[in-house]
Structure 1
Amino acid sequence: MTRQNDPMASGLRERKKQKTRAAIRRAGRRIAAAHGWEAATIERIAAEAEVSPSTVVRYFPVREDILLTDEDDERLEALLRARPAGEEPLESLRAVVVEAIGAALAADPEELRVRARLMAGTPAVRARLTETTAETGRRLARALADRTGRAPDDLEVRVFAAAVLGALREAVLYWAERGLAEDLTALLHRTLDTLKAGPSLPARP
């Protein structure tokens, strides 16, 4: 009999959960890409992923999270914590974000484009994006606090994290709203350069 605290059994269960979660995400994104988000019902996603509707709801109580959530938050936090200790926080974030986006574009550029289009064009997805950004912000604040010797709830840490995440969100929406034609990596650099320069907005020459 397998013991509940058997590390091997726990590892197998976790891998199975990850595979199920990934299958549901792929199904939802395929349906949304082909037919629009409204067509991506729980029942249709379940059939595409070959799971029950209750399984979809158990893994994703909020349907929009099928599009918006993945393991990126944990990976980005780990990458940020691994950056050189004396590096300026904004430059650490620049390196981490550019690396992550580069990897996503190399692995599955169409998935990233689909997600961006739906974020920009679907009100429910866009609203949920704002909500899920809060958890990402808490992770980012913890990592930044550890790197700078501050508390995660310091005002400066919270403002910095919120400013960066808000700016990156706007960069992705800008990219999608303009037909995904521009170089996303260049847009991210431009976005972070704007933050680095401070809150000024000179008129165009």
Structure 2
Amino acid sequence: MDTASAGPGLRERKKARTRALIQEHALRLFEEQGYARTTVEQIAEAAEVSPSTFFRYFPTKEDTVAHNTFTLAFLNALRAQSPGADLFETIRRAVHDAAEGFDELSWTQERRRQQLVLAVPDLRGASVEQLMLLASALRDEVAMRAGRDRDDFEVHTFTGAVLGVFAAVVAGAPHTTARNYADLVDHGLTHLRSGVPL
């Protein structure tokens, strides 16, 4: 029974490693020769996989940059938080829990990905789609924890304001570590909670 349950975990870890390897080579090639001049075939060759394997992990070239492991870690951490706690504190704890799962190398790759999104207009479409998925998932969680409907306008505005804090940290602090990213989010959430005075 233990062996059976360990099998899928091992497969998932192998898939995660392959996905990370493809993304790493994609980011490197985009930085070295430009996004537009880099082909799927070049990325696949650098990662030592076939183009068909590439497409099993990433439907398009853009998705190698849109793929965001931190968002998934944050949402998983958020769903694991105890119910009934203050929403700001719940989100703050989830960000810290997610950040603790990133070593320096993983976080450096995440920041490279973020910087490419900010620098290359062609990448923004796929990243906006990922942002909308995050917004929807966060709105569901906020609504559930607040005992409100997900289409409640105040749930929308709260969710949008929190996403604004995340975006401000990404755009305004390009050299963060995972730890000080979480600390900057703390600062932003505290500022938001206080009414955003200037």
Give the TM-score range, shorter chain: 0.7 to 0.9
| Distance change in 2, residues 1:26/1:181 (3 Å) | closer
Give the TM-score normalised by structure 1.
0.77
**Any stretches of 5+ residues in structure 1 without a counterpart?**
1-5
Moved over 4 A (4+): 6-16
| Aligned twin of 1:192 | 189
2:129 to 131, 155, 164: 131
Contact 2:74 2:97 in 1 (8 A): no
Range with greater deviation from structure 2 (52-61 or 100-109) = 100-109
Give the TM-score normalised by structure 2.
0.79
Contact 2:77 2:98 in 1 (8 A): no
Contact 1:137 1:162 in 2 (8 A): yes
- Root-mean-square deviation (Å): 2.9
2:96 to 95, 98, 120: 98
**Any stretches of 5+ residues in structure 2 without a counterpart?**
none
| Aligned twin of 1:3 | none
Percent identity among equivalent residues? 33
How far has the Cα of 1:133 moved from its partner? 0.5
1:41 to 39, 56, 61: 39
Contact 1:98 1:188 in 2 (8 A): no
Contact 1:32 1:40 in 2 (8 A): yes
Contact 2:19 2:57 in 1 (8 A): yes
Range with greater deviation from structure 2 (151-160 or 166-175) = 151-160
1:172 to 166, 170, 173: 170
What is the identity, as a one-letter code, of the residue corresponding to 1:124? D
* Secondary structure, aligned partner of 1:104: coil
How far has the Cα of 1:130 moved from its partner? 2.2
What is the identity, as a one-letter code, of the residue corresponding to 2:110? L
Q: Measure, in 1, the Cα distance between the counterparts of 2:52 and 2:156.
A: 37
Alpha-carbon displacement from aligned partner over 1:37-69 (angstroms, at most 9, x marks no partner): 334321111111222223323422232221231
Structure with more contact order per residue of length (Cα contacts < 8 Å, sep ≥ 6): 2
